[in-house]
Structure 1
């Protein structure tokens, strides 16, 4: 599938689903004995807009995201959509850009790169929470 034929919000729609599955998988593997409500609370730490914004900006600063991939993030970031009440506009837009990149990588079958960005992004989030 040609991702340039898909809108940025469509890529973000798919990227959101992929990212959520990867995060849930990691949370369950780390905490198999937790009850579902606790698993949900742990997952939210990684999927909320502010966390995803930290992840994508950190990935770019660390050189994990090349300029051509950053253009996909910017395309997704610049799309107009409704912002949830509990999110800052800039965080939500960067999160949408991150999800668009994940969707782009998924559809282009760049799964190894996608998994690397997701796992490093989650470590960036964990480091930010500790500091």
Structure 2
């Protein structure tokens, strides 16, 4: 895809791609040291929840360029109805992060990698 084509992609479609890219990044981040499948699942779920994604966006906000902030704004405005368990504002911020990730994945992978490395990922305790 060229930039003109990517600019025609809806924020919802960018968020769809960004969600997959973000989850793969999180899964890869927790690969070592080796864990049980259950432990992997618990760690990943804790990071891909809307609440965690919204916090990660705030962590990155000061690092974003004007273009990236515009993508974030478009993603927030395109957020659909949130699931019942999630506040609409939090859901909008999570969708914004996914939209940004999807956009950067398609347009500027080195920049995406740079931003992902700034995320504040921590290992939550796993209950068995």
TM-score, length-scaled by structure 1 = 0.85
RMSD of aligned alpha carbons: 1.7
Which of 98, 115, 118 matches 1:117?
115
Alignment of 1:1-131 (within 5 A): 1=1, 2-29=5-32, 31-32=33-34, 34-60=35-61, 63-108=62-107, 110-121=108-119, 123=120, 125-126=121-122
Q: How many correspondences in the alignment?
A: 121
Q: Distance in 2 between matches of 1:42 and 1:86?
A: 20
Moved over 6 A (4+): none
Task: Give deviations 1:96-118, integer Å, cap 9, x for gaps.
Answer: 0111111101111x112111212
Unaligned stretches of 5+ residues in structure 1:
none
2-structure distance, mates of 1:18, 1:80: 18
Q: What CA distance in whole angstroms lies between the structure 2 residues aligned with 1:38 and 1:72?
A: 34
> CA shift at 1:3, angstroms?
1.9
**Following TM superposition, by how much is the alpha carbon of 1:80 offset from its aligned partner in structure 2, in angstroms?**
4.1
Give SS of 2:118's match: helix
State the distance in 2 between where 1:75 and 1:54 align.
18
Give the alignment's TM-score, normalised by structure 2: 0.86
Greater share of helix: 1
Shift of 1:92: 0.9
